[in-house]
Amino acid sequence: MYTEQAHPDAPDMVALVVTGPREHALRRVPRPEPVGDQALVDVSHVALCGTDLRLLRGTLHDADYPTVPGHEWAGVVRAAPTRPELVGRAVVGHNFLPCGSCAWCARGAENLCESLDEIGFSLPGAFAEALCVPAENLRLLPDGVSGAEGCLVEPLCVAVHAVDRAGEVTGRSVGVIGAGAVGLLVAQVARGSGAKSVTVVDPVASRRAVAAELGLGAEADLSRFEADPPEVVFDATGVAALFPRALTATRQGGTCVLVGYSGSEATPFEPSVVMLRELTVVGSLSGVGMIDRAVELVANGVVRLSPLVSPALPLAHYRSVVDTPATEAPLRAFFAVDEETR
Ligand SMILES: [Zn+2]
Ligand SMILES: [Zn+2]
């Protein structure tokens, strides 16, 4: 839980504090101090994703206010009492603190944990100069990977889990609806897993251009999938109204993975499409436990992050991003947390 209680003389820092739906501001708050096995990380970069936008706009399920958002980040370790070798190193980290004792944790499905804490949601996140993270959650940023690129390791964990949830993709045709960051990462992971072909669909030309730069097939119109359905389809749009079309765009006997988050939006669809085509429809939630595989995919070049990165903005510009319509926005908004912020 986020709190501003601290000794009046304690050092402070700038953080984005969200106190309720559409109530948010950069404020001076106490600088966190690591306790127990925590490390203190100075944030170098943080990205704002669609889930953060929902948190700020008040359309996220079970939002914990007040909070400091920021779960896609990279930084430099300033203190790590239990892992002093990390001090001064550039790191990324995963944000999950599963309880470790519920039935879901016991079966290794920590993403479904009954009392999962998550940095950037129930715990203070990286839209701040610094944050505390369990030292065991940290991983070194691979050589040659920038801080902004490092922010994409978190959505890459989501993508790795989504491809796992699809079952076998090797030798199968794959379609990805929505060429946002998660969609483009899913597409790259699927290709790295041996998919026969990988095509993304997105009406936004700049996103298709990124897909093309990554060597992926790119189409503007979902009707191309409906005319020749891929065997495995990922819906990475987060737009509820597109879900029925994701089903009709999946080949008979194929698998449709829902990885986009559409809040509490509802949409009518024909269940018999699932029955008549004998589709397998699966959901995919977050990427708990995937960070080692994600870092490895980046380090060995199977997944390229640089084409997904845009110039980092000062933290003070966050409002301009919150107010930008999705179709005009870059794939992700990246913010640099630097001396100017401090
Ligand atoms: Zn995110
Ligand atoms: Zn648990």
CATH number reported for the structural domain that contains residue 185 in this entry = 3.40.50.720
How far is ligand 1, taken at its centre, from the CA of residue 72, in Å?
Answer: 6
Do 21 and 144 share a structural domain? yes
How far is 329 from 18, CA to CA, in rounded Å? 22
Q: Residue 7: inside a domain, yes or no? A: no
**Predicted pLDDT at 196:** 97
Q: Is the pTM of this model over 0.75?
A: yes
- Return the ∠ at Cα 327 (arms to 181 and 44), rounded to 5°: 45
Number of domains observed in the structure of the chain = 2
Give the model's pLDDT for residue 327: 63
CA of 156 to the centre of ligand 1 (A): 10
In the chain (342 residues long), the average pLDDT of successive 10-residue segments reads: 63 95 95 96 96 90 91 98 97 96 95 95 96 98 97 98 97 97 98 98 95 97 95 96 97 98 93 97 96 98 97 93 74 83 56
**Ligand nearest to the CA of residue 98, numbered in listed order:** 2
Residue numbers of the domain that contains 184:
156-283
Question: Last residue of a domain, which of 283, 301, 323?
Answer: 283
Distance 274 CA to ligand 2 centre (A): 32
Is residue 106 in a domain?
Answer: yes
Nearest ligand to the CA atom of 331: 1
What is the DSSP-derived secondary structure letter of residue 67?
B
Do residues 96 and 36 share a domain? yes
Residue 173 sits in the same domain as residue 84: no
Residue 331 sits at the vertex; the CA angle it makes with 243 and 165, to the nearest 5 degrees, is: 45
**Which positions ≥6 away from 309 have C-beta within 8 Å?**
146, 148, 149, 152, 332, 334
Whether residue 202 is contained in a domain is answered as yes
Residue 290 lies inside a defined structural domain of this protein: no
Residue with tokens 């691979």: 142
Give the angle subtended at the CA of 172 by the CAs of 168 and 177, to the nearest 5°. Answer: 95
Residues 21, 146 share a domain: yes
Burial label for 50, CB within 10 Å (0-12, 13-18, 19+), is: buried
Ligand number, closest to the Cα atom of 155: 1
| Residue 253 domain flag | yes
Ligand 1 centroid to 9 CA: how many Å?
34
Kindly state whether residues 144 and 248 are assigned to the same domain. Answer: no
> What separation in Å is there between the alpha carbon of 120 and the centre of ligand 1?
9
Per-residue model confidence (pLDDT) at position 339: 58
Q: Residue 121: nearest ligand to its CA? A: 1
Are residues 15 and 124 in contact, defined by beta-carbon separation less than 8 angstroms? yes
290 within 8 A of 161, measured Cβ to Cβ: yes
- Taking the CA of 97 as reference, the closest ligand is 2
pLDDT for the residue numbered 272:
97
Q: Is residue 258 part of a domain?
A: yes
Q: What is the CATH number of the domain that holds 110?
A: 3.90.180.10
Answer yes or no: do 256 and 318 share one domain: no
Domain match, 95 and 38 both: yes
80: which 2 tokens?
């790590």
